[in-house]
Structure 1
Amino acid sequence: MDRIKLNSLNISTLPPGEYPDQIVPGLQLTVGARRRSWSVRYRQGGKQFKPVIGYHIPNAPKESDSMGIAAARDKARELLGRIESGVPAEERVAPVHPKNSKSLGDLIDAYETMKRRQGGRIKRLDDGLRTVRNGLKAYLSLPAKQFSKADLRAARDKIAKRGAVHQSSLLLRNVGPILRWASAEDHIEHDFSREVLKVVAPAKRERTLTHGELKAIWTASFQLEKEGGVGSTSFGRLVRFLLLTAQRKDEGLSLKFGDILDKRWKMTQNKSDRMHIVPLPQMAMDIVGEGAAGDLVFPGRSKGKLQGISKLKSRLDTLSGATDWRLHDLRRTAASEMQELGIAPHGIEAVLNHAMPGVGAIYLRAQLEQMKGEALAEWAIKLQKVVGSNPIAAIKEQ
């Protein structure tokens, strides 16, 4: 054994070897090729023991990950005091090195395995786990028992700062069952998910576009197409299509030619997680055009999904002169215009694919589909009057 006086500085730099402490008899630092462990040597019942009481990790990311010399001495004194009191050796549990403990990522994987074994709604499970893994990406390698309430709060705030308040709430909603299960199975000491509050969402937007703004945006979408480029062309068409159909941006971006048959858009994947049939007016069909069944209607480069939406939207704003509006406002505007046309509320809700408790018992699916078709057809006629039947002529007027 090396006779070196241990201190808080040299314990991080000593070469491999065994270093007994000169302050607390029996305490020893063992430096191996990869680890530095604290152990206590003692005799009890005629037998000699040398249990590991902790690990020293130089430059540990968290102070709690590493045992310094002061903590090691306190722990050794406590253990030796218990030995003198007659505590049997088998009642003492050796500590687990942080690198060997289950990480937060491992914990989430174990939860997923358990849930898949139980069965149930796998799609909802996949979406929830994707939200958790993305939101807690920076913490997945952290030992699960070290993941704290402050860490979860920081992850929540980081998402909320991006303007994704709803997404931050989804993170808390989906991480809750994982931490409750982990606490019940003793993988973590405490489930603190319910102690982390949701970020209060800002007031709901009520922005609708005026007829003047609709005409300016509609006309500018053609100007954007004339500037060339796959992205500009697809985005200009997408804007007009979303305004005509009152559907969500992501649903439009995912639309493939094969999803449309006999002027009916069969939407199997959407935010509402239910089948949605959208009868398309002729104006919308003219925007769609023709293509291979597996191709996207509004593609980006190399026929992939359209990217750079924010830049394209900014350019459209410049061309149109319309400000302070979002693509989702097209959907709200279309719904508002259909309401002014006198279309029944349940018909508009059906177009928007909102849940309508009790309506299914009154109207058959075919009747609802007919209502949607009639509502969108009436809206297309009105929109055509608002923007002008000849958009090219409208461009020349400006």
Structure 2
Amino acid sequence: MQKLTAAALASLPIGDHLDHIIPGLVFRVGARRRSWMLRYRAGGKQNKPVIGYYPESGLKEAREAAKAILERLEAGVPVVEQKPVHPKDAMTLRTLVGKYEKMKRAKGGRGTKSLNEAMRTVRRLLADYLDLPARQFTKADLKKARDKMARGVRKSGTLQMSDRAMTYLSAVLNWAAKEDHIETNLVSVTHKVGPGTVKRKRVLTNDEIRAIWTACPKMSGVAGKSYGRMIRFLLVSAQRLSEGTSLKHGAILDGRWRQGEEDNKSAREHLLKLPQMALDQLGEGEANALCFASGKGRRLSGISNFKRELDRLSGVTGWRTHDLRRTATTRMQDMTDADDIPLISRDVISAIMNHAIDGADGHYLHGTMNKAKSRALQLWEEELKKILKISGNIRQQ
């Protein structure tokens, strides 16, 4: 009799194969399915229930399950057979992600605006495992998926970083664990950032800021020039690209930009009194018209093509649109008075970015800080003018 080993299970011929360790344990190889059975007698009756399916249940798992049943028999305790889930009935990761997405859409509220991006990123992360039963997905599988995405990020330069994908996946698995679809949220016990994945720290220099600013009006075509104005606007306002591309004239009233919960990634209301340098980039239009539109009045698309043209015109490469936000907020953080005391607090900068307050403070601190945000953006505008060495109306400079 051939001894059962974990390595041999996948290649054994059709038939029943007895285990030499646990009496009565049988590995049955069929034409389409491989399963584990345990033969035993109880109450004068012969029993041979299926206790697992391969590869969902390996040799170690099968032996542990069989041993537990035999120990109950030896102790005279009734055996309650728990029928294992057949692989055809097991919920796959694809189905699991779909159920989560359906739940989130039905629930609505926070996170709905970014749900499409989140689900695309999660499915991309799990691409090699989507048809795997969710309960079979292991920590080792997750680390492989994470590292594969991290390598792809470094090669392609895509903005969908592996750590962001892990954050999105964590929300899915956390829900799934609470609903008992899986045992635990594996992301919570796995490093989010894969080997070699470095969070971006790019802050544009004064020369780079000047070069990009000067190149913006030189963009070709109506859509290109619209993109150029938007780049300037994002640098002054320190807001996200998605918020710039979706900005409509009606959202600006008396120089104040009001964002609803559905208008930004943070899913929180946000009010910013914009400095003149930002207002100068908006142009004019009907309330429902986009401030930065294509030639047909539609939302800008093909952003990467515009970005390449701007790189060529400015001579600045290796930067991303989101680096404008980091540059603006970092410069605000570094601004000090004559006594080296910061002019803008970290809390105000965080409020400008519309970030949530961390920890217990988030339960108690609900101030809008609108006046402080306005003052901070005015200070940043003054600093930016010094960097650009310009004055007066900014539209054509």
Query: TM-score, length-normalised on structure 1?
Result: 0.64
Higher-Rg structure is: 1
Aligned residue number for residue 104 of structure 1: 93
Equivalent residues, number:
359
Residue 371 (structure 1) aligned with residue 375 (structure 2): yes
Match of 1:244 in 2: 236
Q: Is the 1:135–1:171 Cα contact (8 Å) retained in structure 2?
A: no
1:293 alignment partner in structure 2: 287
2:157 aligns with: none
SS at match of 2:257: strand
Deviations 1:321-350 (A, max 9, x none): 223433334334445279379893149625
Aligned to 2:300: 306
**Aligned-partner residue type, residue 311 of structure 1:** N
| Equivalent residues of 1:348, 1:375 under 8 A apart | no
Q: In 2, Cα distance between the equivalents of 1:274 and 1:312?
A: 30
| Structure 2 CA distance for aligned equivalents of residues 362 and 39 of structure 1 | 60
Residue 335 of structure 2: which of 332, 339, 345 is its match?
Answer: 339
C-alpha displacement of 1:266:
0.9
Number of the residue aligned with 1:170: 167
2:324 alignment counterpart: 330
**Structure with greater proportional helix content:** 1
* Letter in structure 2 aligned against 1:279: K
After superposition, the C-alpha distances for 1:263-319 in whole angstroms (9 at most, x for unaligned) are 221123435543322223444334222334334322358655433333322221211
CA contact (8 A) 2:217 2:228 kept: yes
Give 2:5's aligned residue: none
Contact preservation (8 Å) 1:179, 1:193: no
1:1-398 alignment, distance < 5 Å: 11=14, 45=43, 51-52=49-50, 64-65=55-56, 91-107=80-96, 122-124=109-111, 130=119, 132=122, 135-161=125-151, 162=153, 164-168=161-165, 170-171=167-168, 173-174=170-171, 177-178=174-175, 181=178, 185=180, 187-188=181-182, 192-199=186-193, 202=198, 205=201, 207-210=203-206, 212-224=207-219, 227-228=220-221, 230=223, 232-268=224-260, 269-300=263-294, 304-335=298-329, 336=331, 339=335, 344-346=343-345, 349=349, 351-353=352-354, 365=369, 367-368=371-372, 370-371=374-375, 374-375=378-379, 378=382, 382=386, 385-386=389-390
Work out the percentage of aligned pairs sharing the same amino acid.
Answer: 38
Given the superposition, is the C-alpha separation of residues 384 and 108 from structure 1 closer, same or farther in structure 2, using an over 3 Å criterion?
Answer: closer
CA contact (8 A) 2:226 2:292 kept: yes
Does the 8 Å CA contact 2:235/2:325 hold for their aligned counterparts? yes
> For the residues of structure 2 that align with 1:152 and 1:26, how far apart are their CA atoms?
32
Structure 1: tracts of 5 or more residues without a match: 1-6, 12-18, 57-63
Kindly provide the amino acid, as one letter, of the partner of residue 327 in structure 1: T
CA distance in 1, matches of 2:87, 2:318: 50
Distance in 2, Cα, partners of 1:22 & 1:149: 31
> RMSD over aligned Cα, in angstroms?
5.4
Inter-partner Cα distance in structure 2 for 1:327 and 1:387: 25
Deviation, structure 1 residue 261:
1.9
**Per-residue deviation, 1:379:** 5.3
Per-residue deviation at 1:21? 8.4
Q: Deviations over 1:239-274 (max 9, x none)?
A: 121223232323212212222222221123435543
CA contact (8 A) 1:168 1:199 kept: no
Contact 2:163–2:192 at 8 Å: present in 1 too? no
After the TM superposition, which of the residue ranges 320-329 and 300-309 deviates more from structure 2? 300-309
Equivalent position SS for 1:278: strand
| TM-score (norm: length of structure 2) | 0.65
Which residue pairs with 1:3 in the alignment?
A: none
Structure 1 residues 352 and 313: CA distance shift in structure 2, 3 A: same
One-letter identity of the residue aligned with 2:305 = K
Deviations along 1:342-397, whole A, 9 cap, x unmatched? 89314962544466879x999985633652564466457557743896886x7xxx
Residue identity opposite 1:100 in structure 2: D
1:146 positional shift: 0.8
* Distance verdict in 2 for CA 1:295–1:90, change over 3 Å: farther
**Counterpart-to-counterpart distance in 1, 2:124 and 2:291:** 29
Name the CA distance, whole Å, in 2 between partners of 1:362 and 1:126.
Answer: 22
